[in-house]
Amino acid sequence: MSSSLNLRAAVVSVLIFLTFVGVWHLAVRGSGPTQAMDPEYAKLMGLTATQGKSAMPGPLEVGAKLWEHLRRPFYDNGPNDKGVGIQLAYSLARVLAGYLLAVAVAIPVGFLIGMSPLFSKALDPFIQILKPISPLAWMPLALYTIKDSGLSAIFVIFICSLWPMMINTAFGVASVRKEWLNVARTLEVGTFRRAFTIILPAAAPTILTGMRISIGIAWLVIVAAEMLVGGTGIGYFVWNEWNNLSITNVINAILLIGIVGMVLDQILARLTRLVTFPE
C-alpha cells in the first residue's frame, strides 16, 4: 500500500512539474529577447535606456545556464565571480557553525526548563521578549560589536536557530510520561542518569522536530543576511546577479537554495524517524 502511494505521488509530482514548466514556457514565449528599460530605472542603475534589460527567461534558458553552473561549480575568477559551489559552501559553513552553537546552548537550557518549573517560570519572560525579534534586527548590533561580516552572519544564525530548539526541547522534556519518572525515582536513579536514559530517548522526537524547524529557518535567514553583509555566499550571489540584471542566474540561485534547503530538511526528518518509536 505504501509503495503504491509513493509511486502515485511521484507520478503526480512529475505531472505538476511538467505542467508548471509548460505554463512557464508558454508565458514567456514571444516576449522577445529584451524589453525596453524604464528611463528612470536606467538612470538609477547608471545605464542608458537603449541598453534595455533581459526579458523573463524561459525554462530552457534557465536549464542551460544551470547546467553551465553545475559543470564548473568551484571556479574562482575573483571576488565577484565565483562558482555556485563555492557560494553554497560558504553559506552552508556559516549556517552549520551558527546552528551547532545553537544546539550546544538550546538543548541543555531546554532540558533545564523542561525539568525545573522554577527555571521555566524564571526564563519564560526573557524567551517571550527575545523570541519575536527578527534575526536580521540583530545584524547592525552584531556588525558594530563583532566587526566581522562572516561572524556576524553566524551570530544571526545562532539567534534564529536558538528558540525553536529550546522551546521544543523544553516541551519534549516536560511531556515525558510521569509514571516513567516515578519508577526511576523509586529505583533511586540519579538525576543525570535519569536525564540520559529516560528523558532524552522519550523527548528525542520532539527535540529533533525543533532542530528540523531551526535548520529551515537558519537556511532562510542566511540568504537575507548575506544580502546585507555582502562578501561571499549564495545570498550575496543572488544580490550581485540582480545588480548585474541576470535574472537567469537569480532564478538558478533560487532553485539551488530550495534544493539545499530540502536536503537539509530531509536529513533531519530521517533522523527524527529513526528515534521515533511506535506507541
In the chain, the domains with their CATH numbers are 100-274 (1.10.3720.10)
- Cα–Cα distance, 214 to 194 (Å, whole number): 27
Give per-residue pLDDT as tens, 66-81. Answer: 898 888 888 888 777 7
Give, in degrees to the nearest 5, the angle at Cα 101 between 216 and 229: 65
- Cα–Cα distance, 155 to 3 (Å, whole number): 43
Could you give the count of Cα atoms lying within 13 Å of 236 in the half-sphere of its Cβ?
A: 22
Q: Nearest to residue 212, comparing CAs of 159, 255, 266, 135?
A: 266
Overall pTM surpassing 0.85 (yes/no):
no
- Do the Cβ atoms of 168 and 213 come closer than 8 Å? yes
Write out the three cell numbers for 135: 534575526
The residue-averaged pLDDT of 200-210 equals 90
Least confident of 150-154, 229-233, 252-256: 229-233
The rounded percent of the chain whose pLDDT value lies above 70 is 88
Res 46 pLDDT > 60: no
Give per-residue pLDDT as tens, 151-178. Answer: 999 999 999 999 999 999 999 998 887 7
Res 35 pLDDT > 60: no
